[in-house]
Each structure stands twice: as C-alpha cells, then as structure tokens.
Amino acid sequence: MPTEVQEETFTLEELLAGLKEVHRLILWNDDVNTFDHVIHCMMKYLDYSEAQAEKIAWKVHNEGKCAVLEGSFTEMEIYRKILQQEGLSVTVE
C-alpha cells in the first residue's frame, strides 16, 4: 500500500514573515528633551495614549532607555529617522 503524502503550501508573505527578524526601536535618555516633548512625540508618531507615553518617558528617565516599538528593520529605520528629526535619541537594535 503506497504512503500518502500531503503537500503543504505557503504564500510568499507567510514565508517572509517566518524569516523576519524582529528589531526594536530604543529611545535613550538625554539632557536635551523635555518630558512634554517626548510624550508629544510618542503620541503623535507612535500612537501611544498620553498615559502610555508618560510611562515611557519615566522609564527612559529612570532606566536610561526604553524599547518603544518592534518590527522589521525597515519599519524601525523609518521611525528612527522621524524621531531623530524631532531631536530624540533613538537607535535600532
């Protein structure tokens, strides 16, 4: 009796999603930006609520840095450039 093999197919999007490495956008503490400016940027560009943005600002202040977003390298680079134009210290890991 022959063995039956079931073939499984994937879309290109599914394959690429499986290979996608997750990168993080890191916001760093600095002596330049105010709490209000950081909160404003988190709300405007990353769509955080005011309470969430305030929590991020305090974490950055107390711990020196905070991961504020995760995604593909390309996505993180776009947000990094936007936030750097606003004067924030951000890197992609």
pLDDT in tens, 32-41: 999 999 999 9
Round to whole Å and give the CA distance between 77 and 82.
Answer: 9
51, containing H or E segment: helix 50-63
Q: What is the DSSP string of 6-37?
A: ------HHHHHHHHPPPEEEEEE--SS--HHH
Can you give the pLDDT at residue 16?
65
Can you give the pLDDT at residue 49?
97
Amino acid identity, position 8: E
* pTM, rounded to two decimals: 0.77
Can you give the pLDDT at residue 22?
85
Whether 19 has a pLDDT exceeding 90, the answer reads no
